[in-house]
Amino acid sequence: MVTAMNPGLLTLWAAAAAALEIFPSHGHVRSIRFEPEGALIETAGGAFRVPGLRPLPNATEWGGCRYETTEAGVRRRCGEQDQLIPVGGFPTSGVAAYRGELFVGTYGGGLRRLYGGRVGGVPDSVTALAAIRGGLLCGTEKGLYRVGPGGVGRIDPPSLPIHNVSALASGAGALWVGSFDGGLAALSSGGWRHWTKADGLPSDWIDGLAFDGEKLWGATEKGVFWIVDGRAVRPENPALHRPTAALHAGGGAVYLAQPGRVIVIRPQGTETLEIPEKHPQRIWSAGEEIWVAGLRGLYRVRGGLVTRFSTAKGELPADWVTALEPWEGGLLVGTYDGGLIHRPAAGEPRPVLEKTWVNLGALAASNGRVAVGEMDGGLWLQDGGAWRRLKREDGLPSNDVTAVLFDQDALWIGTREGLARLMLSERDAKGATTGEDTDRLALRPSDPGPVDR
């Protein structure tokens, strides 16, 4: 459970009136714009605001002339005179006058004085340039920089160390974020921490995460790992070094899904159960039953017997099962192409969200709410009523939603381009929404936090 957050949260300004807290992996700056509150920095990983910054007036004019950027250099216009000034042979991205000098941002040649050399400390590709009170604001392919009397410094908003989110878990006062290619990150009151293969992970590709009440478990193509006292540890049991596609912790046990088998780890010992699925996707356990999602259907393991459910018997809308979640005494089952169904404890399965490509593991349910991440389709959220959909234009970092997690009054949303947090309406003990929020969704903007580090 995340009990405290780093104050430097980022605000994504969406076309809609709502805002999401986002934790993108910032990099390539696309543009710098100014608003009454400060500078708005658009990046490939989302947008963030640097409050208090003001542009200098007429920053692109100098000595009575106006300067414009071109692919071949800087164009200087003085009355009827029109002159092209090459800048090291590089295309230019921005021109700004500051303290009696004219500076030019270039693609490939960094930040340069128009009539002088290159300014050190700024990356090669300057994508945006603005003169502000106190220096020059340089957007680059590697982030945002400020050049001033005190030298060159990077403005580093708190951001997710990884961007390609694959899994989410909560425990030990932290939010745990797995990546498809960047390892593991954790967000706590102390900020972000990052683990990769260099720190002891068996792989940087994280297939699943689960917290057992004491430590975090991670599943990878090269076996499982634990995070213990901040260290990545591999179990000694060689069976746990095999590719592990998914895991689940609950009821005092940890369940691992591996090709052709399920491993159940309890305090009193380890049990191995064979299943006919060579490509398990997700795993869940409730009571005496173990459920496994696979490429060839849904499997129930009970009393040593394995039962397969499939489209051939009319039991599933698609055989590629991607997500499992308990719901109203039964089980929500997500599939590729076939959408989401509900398997009640008794009775026939019923469709819940049709014609939806449910991403692997991108399904969560809590307190009367259901969240579904769709491949390239955004986030589907049911809050006791009709389904609502959020997409990139509503503030999500990406339409490819790959992981979802309810944590108290928030919904964490993992995507291919970063992480977002959606604040939800509070509910009373009976599950009803409190307050006057008739729309049942409260989208809360975040505090941009400190500017410099």
State the Cα–Cα distance between residues 336 and 169, nearest whole angstrom: 23
3-state secondary structure of 322: strand
The pLDDT, as a whole number, for residue 21 is 75
Length of the chain in terms of residues written: 453
Quote the pLDDT of residue 65: 87
Which domains are present in the chain? 51-155 (2.40.128), 165-423 (2.130.10.10)
Report angle CA 271, 272, 275 to the nearest 5 degrees.
145
Tokens of 417: 């381009």
Q: Looking at residue 5, what is its pLDDT? A: 29
- Are β-strands 46-51 and 61-62 bridged in parallel, bridged antiparallel, or unpaired? unpaired
Using alpha carbons, select from 366, 440, 441, 442 the residue that is nearest to residue 170. 366
The Cα–Cα gap between 338 and 318 comes to: 5
Nearest to 162 by CA among 177, 176, 174: 177
Instruction: Pull the structure tokens for residue 340.
Output: 């989401």
What are the average pLDDT values for consecutive 10-residue runs of the chain, which has 453 residues? 30 34 72 89 76 79 84 89 90 90 93 90 94 92 88 76 90 95 89 91 98 96 96 96 97 97 96 97 94 98 95 95 95 96 92 94 95 96 89 89 93 92 64 37 28 27
Task: Report yes or no: 95 and 89 within 8 Å, Cβ to Cβ.
Answer: no
pLDDT at 264: 97
* Claim: this prediction has a pTM higher than 0.85: no
Of 343, 307, 306, nearest to 323 (Cα)? 343
pLDDT mean across residues, the chain: 85
| Secondary structure (3-state) at 341 | strand
The pLDDT value given to residue 219: 98
CB 402 within 8 A of CB 416: yes
Give the integer Cα–Cα distance in Å for 109 and 119. 10
Give the pLDDT of residue 433.
43
DSSP letters along 11-47, please?
EEE-SSS-EEEEEE----EEEEEEETTEEEEEETTEE
Question: For residue 392, what are the CA distances in angstroms to 183, 363, 404, 416?
Answer: 25, 19, 16, 12
pLDDT for residue 216: 98
Please report the pLDDT score of residue 97 as a whole number.
87
